[in-house]
Amino acid sequence: MPDETTAQVTVAATAGPLDATTADGVRALAARTAAADGVAPLSEQPLLWLTDPEASAVHVRATDASGQLVGYAQADVGAATSASAELVVDPVHRRTGIGSRLLERLRSETAVVPGRTLRVWAHGDLPSARAFAGHAGMVVVRELWRMSLDLAVPREARPLPAGVTARPFVPGQDEEAWRRVNSRAFAHHPEQGRMTASDLRAREAEPWFDPDGFLLAERDGALLGSVWTKVHAADEDGGGHAVPVGEIYVVGVDPDAQGLGLGGALTALGLDHLAARGLRTAILYTGAENTVAIRTYTRLGFTKESADVMFGSGTQGSPAGVTMST
Ligand SMILES: CC(C)(COP(=O)(O)OP(=O)(O)OC[C@H]1O[C@@H](n2cnc3c(N)ncnc32)[C@H](O)[C@@H]1OP(=O)(O)O)[C@@H](O)C(=O)NCCC(=O)NCCS
């Protein structure tokens, strides 16, 4: 598709991975925006997909006359029915129509597949994003809560069910079994249930990856569920924390093993690991509609800290009953 050019800003879309310099430009834009807004505009998946040749992503870039990146959007076009996107405009270039042009381009890229809808995440549920989405005729279709917990407060013991043991994930050995259980546990989840082998490898290659904080629960050698933790350096978690925080990154329990208390026990094991690493705060993300998970987390001591919202033109999109975090 040809570029749309005005005197000031050019908007261009590309399907392939970005080169290293362009990707660095997007990361710098995200960092500038996070410093100004107090919340990171792009989440982990779009950042990992900047340079991933296997990503099902479309990148839309807005550059000014000097070639400086002033806005960026990325859409996940891997699903046939709906594309989810994240969108950011440099704080010093807002209210000049750049966000609207990025959105317009996202819409035309998404519409390449007839009937596919576009949904846009707004992290932190900022008033500017609400106003922008309203102006564009979009409504809230999904809400993701960020919950947090003080690791220094004593917690109730949550033993593993009888006959179940936990051990660290072994890279190079456990990937396929973990992906199988993860996709069963998150069969109805729009993103987590679709984690590919490449997505998993990319996370294993990240500096934060620590198999000791990724625990698998087994009975008679069969994988029943897991808890995966992630430690964020100070100010890297998008929540403005001045000290490192630990995330309960993914908790998944196979549908056949649900109802045994395994989700709560695994989460507690993850919290014990984070506390043993000297961390003071734990966080996690969960769908606001996932009442089973929220009840489990609340009983462990988590409280709601903030919310991310997804805008779209349809009705509430995420089913209840999803297993746990993310
Ligand atoms: C939301 C965001 C993308 C808007 O980008 P932008 O380039 O400023 O948007 P536009 O200039 O195209 O704004 C279009 C309309 O949205 C509304 N709007 C946008 N920002 C607004 C604000 N801060 N207050 C009130 N209305 C606002 C206005 O109606 C505006 O039209 P107007 O300027 O003619 O009144 C930008 O603020 C941003 O990057 N925020 C952080 C990331 C984020 O939340 N992304 C998710 C977006 S759903």
Specify if 67 maps to a domain: yes
**Ramachandran sector of residue 95 (left: φ over 0; alpha: ψ -120 to 50; beta: rest):** left
Q: Which two tokens stand for residue 273?
A: 């690991």
Rg, Å, the chain Cα set: 20
Tell me phi and psi for residue 161, to 5 degrees: -60, 155
Choose the residue to mutate in 90, 105, 132 for probing ligand 1, maximizing ligand atoms within 8 Å of C-beta. Answer: 132
Choose the residue to mutate in 95, 100, 123 for probing ligand 1, maximizing ligand atoms within 8 Å of C-beta. Answer: 95
Among 137, 157, 191, which residue terminates a domain? Answer: 137
Q: Which two tokens stand for residue 63?
A: 């550059």
Residues 150 and 15 in one domain: no
The CATH code of the domain that includes 22 is 3.40.630.30
Residues 111 and 182 in one domain: no
Judging by DSSP bridges, how do beta strands 245-253 and 281-287 pair with one another?
parallel
Q: Which residues contact 193 (CB under 8 A, 6 or more apart)?
A: 182, 183, 185, 186, 187
Does ligand 1 have an atom closer than 6 angstroms to the CB of 310? no
For residue 3, pLDDT beyond 80: no
- Nearest-atom index, ligand 1, CA of 120: 48
Residues 128 and 156 in one domain: no
User: Among all chains, which residue has been given the structure tokens 């908790």?
Assistant: 251
Specify if 323 maps to a domain: no
Residues 125 and 240 in one domain: no
Measured CA distances, 177 to 95, 180, 182, 201, 290 (Å): 48, 5, 9, 14, 25
**Which tens digit of pLDDT belongs to each residue from 223-271?**
999 999 999 987 666 666 678 999 999 999 999 999 899 999 999 999 9
Residues 67 and 173 in one domain: no
Smallest CA-to-CA distance from 249 within 187, 288, 190, 200 is with 200
Q: Which two tokens stand for residue 179?
A: 């992906």
Average pLDDT, the chain: 90
**Which tens digit of pLDDT belongs to each residue from 50-108?**
999 999 999 999 999 999 999 999 999 998 889 999 999 999 999 999 999 999 999 99
Residues 76 and 177 in one domain: no
State the pLDDT at residue 188: 81
Residues 296 and 179 in one domain: yes
Does ligand 1 have an atom closer than 6 angstroms to the CB of 25? no
Ligand 1: centre distance to CA 144 (Å): 21
Among 75, 107, 137, which residue terminates a domain? Answer: 137
Atom 31 in ligand 1: residue holding the nearest Cα: 95
Residues 162 and 280 in one domain: yes
Residues 131 and 208 in one domain: no
Residue 306's domain comprises: 146-312
Ligand 1: centre distance to CA 96 (Å): 9
